[in-house]
Chains A and B, each alone.
Chain A
Amino acid sequence: MEYIPLSKEQQMRRQESENVNKKQDFLWYWLHSAPGLSRQSKQKMLDYYGEPEKIFTATKEQLEPFFRRKDYLEQFLSSRCEERIRKTYEEMNRKGIHFTHIEAMDFPSCLKVIPDPPIGLFYRGEMPSEEKKTIAIIGSRDCTRYGSEMARFFGRELARVGFQVVSGLARGIDGMAHEGALEVGGYTIGVLGCGVDVVYPVENYELFMQMEKTGGILSESMPGQQPYSGLFPQRNRLISGLADGILVVEAMEKSGTFITVDQGLEQGKEIFALPGRIVDEKSRGCNNLIKLGAHMVTEVQDILEVLHFESKDMRSLFEITQGKAFLHKNLLAPNEKIVYSCLRVEPQYLDRIIQKAQIAPQEVCMALNHLTVLGGVVETTRNYYALRI
């Protein structure tokens, strides 16, 4: 096809439309951040006026019915200072924080259809792709080693077959799921209950930086917002909203995880749960979910089937926990094989392993450290070793 350069007039028109778009973005940003009004009321206002520009230019009398208190109205009106808004907006862009709103191109369409959708979102990195399947992997923050290892396993294996992994970038299960996805270079997005420039919890700092580069960080809160408990239920509806299915790895009987599950059900998402031992406090929530009709997951395949996804590159969990893949890949010394066979998913103290293996302590230490470097074993706490799945 022949390339026809744009005429000057066309160029100008394009520039103009871009400017209009930019102006629109900026007004949406204002509306999202304006004080004195809840999200629901803003939504009502939007339904009435159609677009933020009209709200921006509306008179005080016109806006009065939306406010119950006068001082809130005053706050709202005084925020309509174009110069100030522009300054903070540009400042934010400079920091690499993007803003998107419900009518923008980059706004995830799956979030438009949830009940009570957000007006605007802040994000860093990339937004999830619409074509790919997305799985939310969630669970408690104080998880067991079994839980964290499973979260990492499912995060990794699902990312490997092309799933996008969404979670809350919290301590425990969330972080491990992200880590798993990053291990194989998959896309993963964290939805925060604070501003996208606030790292909470601090121990996830490295993960946060990595995800900003190769995945995404998303939040409805203003940049700089510190986390507080009220923000987390709102963020949970975004996690479930972004996902096609929700996998609960480990949850106590009464856990914040169920807020996400409830919202997921409301949004019509598939719920998956990992079974645990019935005496295990940390698995009781999952087992209850299964009892109530959630899909029970014992293999990655279980998830793929429900979500109508086919992949040939699938590894069986059983094979991996037996360590066959690892043993196949690495040529181990006899002692190392014995030590490896004594390990479990749960961490064990060095003395227990020495006892089981019936080998001299120094030999066991050597074997364990070698296996750690090879990647088959992980030292969870000093001198406690566990199988890496």
Chain B
Amino acid sequence: MYSKILSGTLHGVEGRLITVEADVSEGLPVFTMVGFLASEVREASDRVRTALRNSGFQIPPKRITINLSPADVRKEGSFFDLPISIALLAAYGYIPLECLEDILIVGELSLNGDVRGVSGVLPIVDYARKMNIKKVIVPYGNRKEAAVIPDMEIYGVKSLSAVVNHLLDTKPITAEMFAPFVEEQSSFLDDFSEIKGQKTMRRATEIAVAGMHNILYLGPPGAGKSMVAKRIPTIMPDLSYGESIEITKIYSVNGLLDSEKGFVTKRPFRAPHHSVTPNALIGGGKIPKPGEISLAHRGVLFLDELLEFPKNVIEMMRQPIEDGQVTISRLQGSYVFPCEFMLVAAMNPCPCGYYPDMSKCRCTGPQIERYLRKLSEPMLDRMDMSISVQKLNYDELYGEAVEENSETIKKRISVAHMVQKRRLEPYGVRYNAQIPSKALDKVCNLGAEEKELRKEIFEQYRLSARGAAKVMRVARTIADLDHSDSVKCRHIWEAVSYRMSDVYQKGGGI
């Protein structure tokens, strides 16, 4: 007898539908599986047979053929154990065929018939919705993430027999409640108020986040560079539903979701160690999976000790940063992962870390030069702002001064983001950091005085065209924080302090 059922697989971070067909006929008892299968899918035959027997189903020896179609898509992952066994049971006549219509099943089986959780359920469920399939049976551990998609009937199952009982309606499972997205106050353990003093760094960080500018911190060890970077997600506006779905999908594919929580509600903060391999950073592998830059999507990617990262790894990030997505090509197809993140990097100003504090720094001029030569110029091109950071003195560290908390800063930034979104809509971008250069003049709305100043600064600081554009973009953000419609002189003056050109000036130590 013949039966078929729907299941799904992943292509990058998007889902695909797969039809599982089973046929049982007279002949020599064999179990054949066809349909461009990866080895982990092929192994399903043993798991399915054992799990069925251990769940109390008799499988008389017959010729069994399983086909997973479409035949030209490579089937990977462990989604298919459960659908294959259900299709098989239907083919043996345990389940009437009508019960299997318009229902999608994914799940891995263990030998005793338990259903195990799999990674990547969300993209499949999302795709199912697009294809107008309402009922989805998923492993119990994945029910929460599947339930973030509205208008769906999600059934979380714990064992094979439970699925059968549900399908036969002898012991139906109640559908998982749709978990509507609440813009909850993301509760971070860290807060900006814990950062004492550091007025420059606070201000620059606020500006950077407000315009989503990539920022580079230069400073001695222990100045608080990592501390600030870690708190940047706390001042970013709360995730919207769409953003959250994007992030949750990526985390679902990588199996990083909490089984008791559906959505990812916190902005990601990823800080890969500098020993990271290119594949881990960009994404890759035989079956491509999102890398760190995609895991930082809509959040922060923090590269501490920027100079310690191998040059080839850093260079690989250039194109993804520019495009906001990374395309990984393999023989069986190319995969696109989103990666719109804010890049935050930190580095020491010299090998020992203390320059220009000459009482501590023991580096010679050439040593510092050699050290900084490791900086990749194209990488610097992708950074928009840079500032120096210095260690706190005693008064700042133990003083009574109360610093602003993240919530207050976040409010200001949210307003700036809203303003930008509205203004930049015609150009197809969202943040000031992405303003195309040809639109810059119009967006900044400079007066005669401001244009004069721009020229003066261009010459004084020997800016390149790119460098000048960056200063203007940052000035635009400063003006937004200042609730000003056009960029004024004072905004440009301040933006100059954070310029990216001549990051390193040789002016002698203190």
The answer on a CB contact under 8 Å between B508 and A148 is yes
Q: A362-B478, A380-B356 are in contact. Are A373 and B508 (CB under 8 A)?
A: no
The answer for the CA separation of A285 and B85 in the assembled complex, in Å, is 89
Q: Using Cβ atoms and an 8 Å threshold, which residues of chain A touch B386? A: 382
**A365 x B505 contact (CB < 8 A):** no
**Chain B nearest CB, measured from A363 CB (Å):** 8
Q: Classify chain B: how many residues form its interface, as a range.
A: 35 or more
With contacts A381-B504, A383-B388 taken as known, whether A365 is within 8 angstroms of B497 at the C-beta atoms is: yes
Say whether B356 contacts A366, CB under 8 Å: no
Is B273 in contact with chain A by the CB < 8 A criterion? no
| B356 and A381 within 8 A (CB) | yes
A:26-62 near B, CB below 8 Å: none
**In the bound complex, CA of A349 to CA of B387 (Å):** 11
Nearest to A347 among chain B residues (CB) is: B510
Encoded as 1 (CB less than 8 Å from any A CB) or 0, chain B from 346 to 390 comes to 000100000110100000111001000000000000000011101
Q: Are A366 and B493 in contact (CB under 8 A)?
A: yes
Scan A349-389; emit 1 where CB is below 8 A from any B CB, else 0: 11110100000011001101110110000111111101000
Q: Is B423 an interface residue (CB 8 A)?
A: no
With contact pairs A350-B200, A361-B203 given, residues A382 and B510 touching in the complex (Cβ less than 8 Å):
no
**Contact assessment for A346 and B510 in the assembled complex, using a CB-CB cutoff below 8 Å:** yes
Is A384's CB under 8 angstroms from B387's CB?
A: no
A370 in contact with B508 given A144-B358, A384-B356, A384-B388 (CB within 8 Å):
no
Q: Given the complex, which residues of A lie within 8 Å of B349, measured CB to CB?
A: 381
Known: A144-B358, A148-B508, A362-B203. A381 touches B388 (CB 8 A): yes
Contact of A373 with B456 in the complex, beta carbons under 8 Å = yes
Interface size class of A (residues with CB under 8 A): 35 or more
Asked if A143 is at the interface (CB within 8 A of a chain B CB), the reply is yes
* Residue among A201, A368, A378, A379 with most chain B CB within 10 A: A379
Confirm or deny: A142 has a beta carbon within 8 angstroms of a beta carbon on chain B: yes
Listed residue (A142, A378, A383) with the most chain B CB atoms within 10 angstroms of its CB: A383
Distance between Cα atoms of A373 and B387 in the complex (Å): 19
Q: Confirm or deny: A203 has a beta carbon within 8 angstroms of a beta carbon on chain B.
A: yes
Q: Give Cα distance in the complex from A20 to B233, angstroms.
A: 82
Number of A-B contacts (CB under 8 A): 98
Does chain A have a CB within 8 A of B179?
Answer: no
B457 touches A373 (CB 8 A): yes
In the bound complex, residues from chain A placing their C-beta under 8 Å from that of B366 are 201
Question: A144 — which chain B residues lie within 8 A by C-beta?
Answer: 358, 508-510
Asked whether, in the complex, the Cβ of A380 is within 8 Å of the Cβ of B507, the reply is yes
Judging by beta carbons under 8 Å apart, are A383 and B387 in contact?
A: yes
CB of A80 closer than 8 Å to a CB of B:
no
**In the bound complex, do residue A379 and residue B509 qualify as a contact, i.e. CB atoms below 8 Å apart?**
no
- State the CA gap A68–B197 with chains docked (Å): 73
Among B358, B497, B506, B509, which residue has the most Cβ atoms of chain A within 10 A? B497
With A365-B494, A369-B496, A382-B386 already in contact, the answer to whether A347 and B456 are too (CB < 8 A) is: no
Contact status A365-B388, CB under 8 Å: no
A112 at the interface (CB under 8 A from B): no
Q: Shortest Cβ distance from A207 into chain B, in angstroms?
A: 12
Complex CA gap A71/B428 in Å reads 79
Interface residues of A in 181-221 (CB under 8 A from B): 201, 203
A378 to B497 Cα, complex, angstroms: 12
Select A145's contact among B199, B365, B493, B508, beta carbons within 8 Å. B508
CA distance A366 to B490 in the complex (A): 6
Interface string of A142-169 (1 = CB under 8 A from B): 1111011000000000000000000000
List chain B residues, Cβ under 8 A from A141: 365
Cα distance, A370 to B494, chains bound together (Å):
9
Q: How far is the CB of B383 from chain A (nearest CB, A)?
A: 12
Q: Which of B387, B388, B506 contacts A203 (CB 8 A)?
A: B506
A269 at the interface (CB under 8 A from B): no
Chain A residues with CB under 8 A of B282: none
Contact of B505 among A142, A370, A382 (CB under 8 A): A382
Say if the beta carbon of B198 comes within 8 Å of chain A. yes
Contact A384 B510 (CB under 8 A): yes
Closest to A374 in B: B460
- Given A351-B197, A361-B199, A365-B497, A145 contacting B507 (CB threshold 8 A): yes
For the complex formed, measure the closest distance between the CB of B371 and the CB atoms of chain A, giving whole angstroms.
Answer: 14
In angstroms, Cα B366 to Cα A143, docked, is 14
Q: Which residues of A contact B505 (CB under 8 A)?
A: 379-382
CB proximity of A278 to chain B, nearest CB, Å: 16
B218 at the A interface (CB under 8 A): yes
A117 to chain B, nearest CB (A): 33
Minimal Cβ-Cβ distance residue in B for A373: B460
Question: Considering the complex of A and B, which 4 residue pairs feature the smallest CB-CB distances, nearest first?
Answer: A380-B507, A383-B388, A366-B493, A145-B508
Q: A145-B508, A351-B390 are in contact. List 13 more A-B contacts (CB 8 A).
A: A145-B507, A145-B509, A147-B508, A201-B365, A201-B366, A203-B369, A203-B506, A346-B510, A351-B197, A351-B198, A370-B493, A382-B218, A384-B507
Sample 8 A-B pairs with CB under 8 A, ordered by A number: A144-B358, A201-B365, A347-B510, A361-B202, A366-B493, A379-B505, A381-B504, A383-B387
Seen from chain B, the residues whose Cβ lies within 8 Å of a Cβ on chain A are: 197-200, 202-203, 218, 349, 355-356, 358, 364-366, 369, 386-388, 390, 456-457, 460, 478, 490, 493-494, 496-497, 503-510
